[in-house]
Amino acid sequence: MITRFAPSPTGHLHLGHLLNAIYVWRLAGDAGGQVRLRIEDHDRERSRPEFERSILDDLEWLGLRPDVPSISAFRAGPCEGRQSDYLERYQEALERLDRDGRVYGCDCSRAQVLGRVGRVGLVGRAGEDEIPYDGFCSARGLRPGPGVGARVRLDPGVETFDDGMLGWQQQEPVAQCGDLLARDRLGHWTYQFAVTVDDLAEGITDVIRGRDLLASTGRQMQLARLLGRTTPPAFFHHPLILGADGEKLSKSKGDTSLRDLRAAGLSPAHVIARAKAAVDSA
C-alpha cells in the first residue's frame, strides 16, 4: 500500500483533517504500507506558507510522521511533496490528452453555466452544489490560454468501484460534472486534475478520504485511465465530523483548529480522542 495525506495550506488543520489522518496512518500501518505527505497548494491565491508551517507543526506534535517526504525535508525547502513544484507534470499530462483530441478551450464562468443549465446537480467537493458543464465550448474552437480554461472531454458511461467502507458504487461522470475542467481561466490547475495526475505519478495504490469527496471518484478514475493508468487505486471514504449546524467542518467557517486546541492545553491523546468521539457520535 502507498497512500497519502494531502492537506491544502489554505488554513489551519481542524478535527476533520485529523480524522482523515487517523484513518490514513492506521490503514497504512495495518497493511505495512507507506504514507506520503502531499501539500495540495494548487490554489495559488489562497495557499499560504504560514499554513504549511502550521500543518507540519501539528503533524509533528501529534506524532504522525509521513514516510515520504519527511517533515524535515519540507522545512528545508523545495522537495517532492508540493503541487506548486509539479507544474511541468500537469502540463505534460494535459498535452498528452490534447494529442488524443481530448482538450478544448472554455471561457465560461460558473454563473454562465448555471444560467444555461438552469439546475444544480449533485453535491460535490466541499459540500458545494455541483453544476454539470453543458459542453457549450466543445465546438467553438477555442484554445486554452490567457482568460481561457482547459477542459477534458470525458466519455459517457458508468464507472464502478468497490469502496472499502461504503461497498459497491457506480457513478456517471458526464452526467455529474460534464467535461472536466483541468485548468481554470486564471491558469490555475484544478483539484480534480492535479490530484489524479499526482496519484498516477506517485504510484498511489489506496486513496483514503472523507465522504464529501465520494462524488469525485468516478471522474478521477476515468481521467486516470485516459492518462494511461490500467488499474485504479482502491478507494476508502470514511465518515465526516459534522458541526453543530449539521455541516462538515470547514476552514472558511472558522471551526476549531488543532492550533486552538493545542493553545488550550490539550494533549495529542486528548485531541485524537476528541476526533474519534465526534465521528462515533455522528
The confidence score (pLDDT) of residue 44 equals 85
Catalytic status, residue 248 = no
Three cell numbers, residue 282: 455522528
**pLDDT tens for each residue of 112-149:** 998 888 755 444 443 446 789 999 999 999 999 999 99
The confidence score (pLDDT) of residue 122 equals 44
Contacts of the segment 269-278: beta carbons below 8 A, 24+ positions apart:
271/15, 271/18, 271/62, 272/18, 272/22, 272/62, 274/15, 275/15, 275/18, 275/19, 275/22, 275/241, 276/19, 276/22, 278/15, 278/19, 278/241
- Parts of the chain belonging to CATH 3.40.50.620: 2-86+195-280
Instruction: Give the DSSP letter of residue 257.
Output: B
Residues 221-240: what's their mean pLDDT? 97
The confidence score (pLDDT) of residue 274 equals 87
Residues 21-41: what's their mean pLDDT? 97
pLDDT band at 255 (very low <50, low <70, confident <90, very high): low
| Residue ranges in the chain assigned as alpha helix (H) | 15-30, 49-62, 71-76, 87-99, 110-117, 173-177, 191-201, 217-226, 258-263, 268-280
Residues 62-73: what's their mean pLDDT? 95
Residues 65-74: what's their mean pLDDT? 94
pLDDT band at 78 (very low <50, low <70, confident <90, very high): confident
Q: Taking 60 as the threshold, does the pLDDT of residue 227 lie above it?
A: yes
Which of residues 278 and 41 earns the better pLDDT score?
A: 41
Catalytic residue among 248, 251, 253, 276: 251
Q: pTM for this structure?
A: 0.91
Answer whether 121's CB lies under 8 Å from 129's CB: yes
Q: Taking 50 as the threshold, does the pLDDT of residue 31 lie above it?
A: yes
- Smallest Cα–Cα separation from 198: which of 87, 66, 115, 124? 87
Q: Which CATH class is domain 2-86+195-280?
A: alpha beta
250-260 core/surface letters (b: 16 or more CB in 10 A; e: else): ebeeebebbbe
pLDDT band at 61 (very low <50, low <70, confident <90, very high): very high
